[in-house]
Amino acid sequence: MATLFILLSLSLLLTSLHFSSSETFIGVNYGQVADNLPPPSATAKLLQSTSIEKVRLYGADPAIIKALANTGIGIVIGAANGDVPALASDPNSAAQWINSNVLPFYPASNIILITVGNEVLTTNDPNLINQLLPAMQNIQSALSAASLGGKIKVSTVHSMAVLSQSDPPSSGLFSPSYQTALKGLLQFQKDNGSPFAINPYPFFAYQSDSRPETLAFCLFQPNAGRVDSGNGIKYMNMFDAQVDAVHSALSAMGFKDVEIMVAETGWPYSGDSNEVGPGIENAKAYNGNLVAHLRSMVGTPLMPGKSVDTYLFALYDEDMKPGPGSERAFGLFRPDLSMTYDAGISKNSQTPSTPSTSVTPVTPQPKPTATGWCVPKAGISDAQLQSSLDYACGQGIDCSPIQPGGACFEPNTLASHAAYAMNLYYQISSKNPWNCDFSQTATLTSQNPSKYLSAFNDMNRLIKEPMENGLLVKIMLSLWYC
C-alpha cells in the first residue's frame, strides 16, 4: 500500500511538472525597424527552440504570420496608429483589415489578439484618442461577422505614463486627463474579455533613481524590499510593484477584473556612455530573473498564484530605431540567431545562471556531498530571513507547501519557512555552494534537518532502485524536506 501511495504521488508530481512546462505566459516582441533581420522562416525555427509561446508583432507582416503557421505559437498582430482614423470612421475598412490580415492565415497561424494602436493616449492627440474606441469596436464587429468573435481578442497598448500615481502600488491611479477615454476602453475590454496591455520598464525606474539598492530591487536580486505604506505589503522587486500599481488603478475605476497583460518589458544590454543602467549583466539578470519569477507562478502580492502574460522586449535588436544607443540594444538574439546572452528561455537551458549582484561574491568552496543541506545561520534577523525567503521563492521554486494549508506550513515560523525555501533553491541549483549564500545569511550542513527523515529513509528502502536516479532524488528531497 505504501509503495502504491508513493508511486501515485510521484505520478501526480511528474504530471504537474509536465503541464508546468507549458509556459503560455511568456512571449516576446518581434519588432522590424531594422535592415539586417533573418528571414521569417529562420525566426520561426528559432522560436521553436525556446520556451517562448507567444509573439507580438507591431504590424501584420504576412510573411511572418505565414512562417509561424502550424507552430502553435500564439501571434499578436497590430493595427498602427495611422490606421486608427480609417478603422474608426468606416466599418468596411475594419472588415477589409480583417479580410487581409487575419482570414488568409487563421487558424493555421494562431492569431490570438489584435492590438489597435500603440500608446495612443500618451500621444495627447485628442482626435486620435477619440477615434481609438470606435476603431476597436469596428474591428471587434468585423471579427464577429467572420465568426471569430471570442476567438481573437481586441485590445490596445498603453505606456505606464497613463498613471498619475504608482508609488506605493496600492495608491495606483490613472491620470485624470485620460480617465474619460479609459472608462470607455475598459468597459469594452470587460465586455469582450480582452486584456489591459501595459508597458512597465523597471529599467526606466532605475534611470530616475540609480542607487545600488534600487538596481537590486529592479533586477529581482536580494534586497531589503519596500513596504507599501497603504497596505503594509513588502515588495521585493520593481516589476511586481509596477504591475500591482496598474491593478490598483484598474480597481479604483471599478475594473479590477480586467486582466493585465505586460505588452513590453526588458533591459538593454548596451547603451551610450552617458546612460545609466545598460549592460549585459544587468540585462541577463533582469530578463533571466523575470522569466524565473514568472515560472514560479507566485504572481504579484495583489494578484497571487498566477503569472501575468508577459512579452519580453525584444527578440532582435532594431538597428534603425532612433534615440539613445540603448534603444538599439534590447535583443535577446543576434541577426545570426545566436543568443546575445542566456536569459533562460532556451529549451536547452531552462534555468538561467544566478546573475551577479552588488553583494561581494563568495569564493567557491569544494562541493559538498549529496547529503548537504542549506539552512539559515544562527542569529539571523527576521528581516534578513524574510528577504532570503522572498528571494528564494521568487526564483522559480514551488513555495506553495509553506503557504497556509500547505504540507510544510507547520511549524508556522519564519525560520522554518525560510529554511524550506533556501534549501529547496539550493537543491535544485546543482548544489553549488554559492547558491547557499543568500547575502551571507545561510550555511551548509551535513545534518538533515527534516523532521521526516525516518519516513524519507523508509521510502528510500521501498524504492531503492529508482532512488539512484538523480532526478527522482531531487523530487523526493523537495517532497520530504519539511
How confident is the chain (482 residues) per 10-residue block, as mean pLDDT?
Answer: 43 40 83 97 97 97 98 97 97 98 98 98 97 98 96 98 96 97 98 98 95 96 94 96 98 97 98 96 96 92 95 97 96 97 82 36 34 79 82 80 84 86 78 71 73 40 42 43 54
CA distance 237 to 240: 6
Query: CA end-to-end span of the chain, whole Å?
Result: 23
CATH code: domain of residue 414: 1.20.58
> For this structure, is 23 an active site residue?
no
Residue 346: strand, helix, or coil: strand
Q: Which pLDDT value is given to residue 369?
A: 38
Task: Give the count of alpha carbons within 13 A of 275, CB side only.
Answer: 17
Position 395 in a domain: yes
Position 8 in a domain: no
Which one of 23, 53, 119, 259 is the catalytic residue?
119
Look at the alpha carbons of 130, 132, 133, 135 in this order and tell me if their dihedral is positive or negative: positive
Task: Give the count of alpha carbons within 13 A of 138, CB side only.
Answer: 23
Look at the alpha carbons of 293, 295, 300, 301 in this order and tell me if their dihedral is positive or negative: negative
Task: Give the count of alpha carbons within 13 A of 22, CB side only.
Answer: 7
Residue 198: strand, helix, or coil: strand
Q: Which pLDDT value is given to residue 56?
A: 98
Give yes or no: residues 26 and 114 share one domain.
Answer: yes
Position 242 in a domain: yes
> For this structure, is 119 an active site residue?
yes
CA distance 290 to 265: 10
Q: How far is CA 108 from CA 26, 70, 71, 72, in A?
A: 21, 5, 8, 8
Position 360 in a domain: no
Reference 343, options 266, 291, 277; nearest CA is: 291
The distance from CA 370 to its chain's CA centroid, rounded to whole angstroms, is 32
Spell out the residues 6+ positions from residue 319 whose beta carbon is closer than 8 angstroms to its own: 34, 35, 36, 328
CB atoms within 10 A of CB 280: 14
Position 11 in a domain: no
CA distance 129 to 286: 33
Q: How far is CA 325 from CA 200, 264, 319, 321, 329, in A?
A: 20, 18, 9, 9, 7
Give yes or no: residues 270 and 397 share one domain.
Answer: no
Q: Which domain holds residue 428?
A: 373-480
Give yes or no: residues 295 and 416 share one domain.
Answer: no
Q: Burial code of 444-470, b = ≥16 C-beta within 10 A, e = fewer? A: beeebebebeeebeebeeebeeeeeee
Give yes or no: residues 315 and 385 share one domain.
Answer: no
Q: How far is CA 463 from CA 4, 5, 17, 184, in A?
A: 11, 12, 21, 61
Give yes or no: residues 386 and 457 share one domain.
Answer: yes
CA angle 276, 296, 415 (to 5 degrees): 95
Give yes or no: residues 316 and 380 share one domain.
Answer: no
Q: Say if residues 272 and 331 touch (Cβ distance below 8 Å).
A: no
Give, to the nearest 10 degrees, the angle between helix 453-462 and helix 470-480: 150
Q: Say if residues 482 and 408 touch (Cβ distance below 8 Å).
A: yes
Using the 3D structure, point to which of 328, 359, 384 is the last residue of a domain: 328
Q: Which pLDDT value is given to residue 432?
A: 62
Exposed/middle/buried for residue 117 (C-beta within 10 Å: 0-12, 13-18, 19+): buried
Q: Say if residues 340 and 269 touch (Cβ distance below 8 Å).
A: yes
Position 367 in a domain: no
Taking phi over 0 as left and psi of -120 to 50 as alpha, with beta for the rest, 277 belongs to: left
Indicate the length of the chain as a whole number: 482
Residue 375: strand, helix, or coil: strand
Position 9 in a domain: no
Give yes or no: residues 251 and 309 share one domain.
Answer: yes
Give yes or no: residues 301 and 236 share one domain.
Answer: yes
CA distance 115 to 56: 9
The distance from CA 142 to its chain's CA centroid, rounded to whole angstroms, is 32
Give yes or no: residues 390 and 289 share one domain.
Answer: no
Q: Which pLDDT value is given to residue 463?
A: 39
Residue 359: strand, helix, or coil: coil
Using the 3D structure, point to which of 304, 328, 352 is the last residue of a domain: 328
Position 345 in a domain: no
Reference 306, options 158, 416, 195, 410; nearest CA is: 195
Q: Say if residues 236 and 225 touch (Cβ distance below 8 Å).
A: yes
Give yes or no: residues 39 and 112 share one domain.
Answer: yes
Using the 3D structure, point to which of 293, 328, 363 is the last residue of a domain: 328
Give yes or no: residues 154 and 298 share one domain.
Answer: yes
CATH code: domain of residue 197: 3.20.20.80
Q: Which pLDDT value is given to residue 315?
A: 98
Q: Where are the alpha helices (DSSP H) in 56-110?
A: 62-67, 84-89, 91-101
Q: Give the chain's domain count.
A: 2
Q: Which pLDDT value is given to residue 434?
A: 67
Give yes or no: residues 314 and 398 share one domain.
Answer: no
pTM score, whole prediction: 0.74
Which one of 23, 53, 264, 318 is the catalytic residue?
264
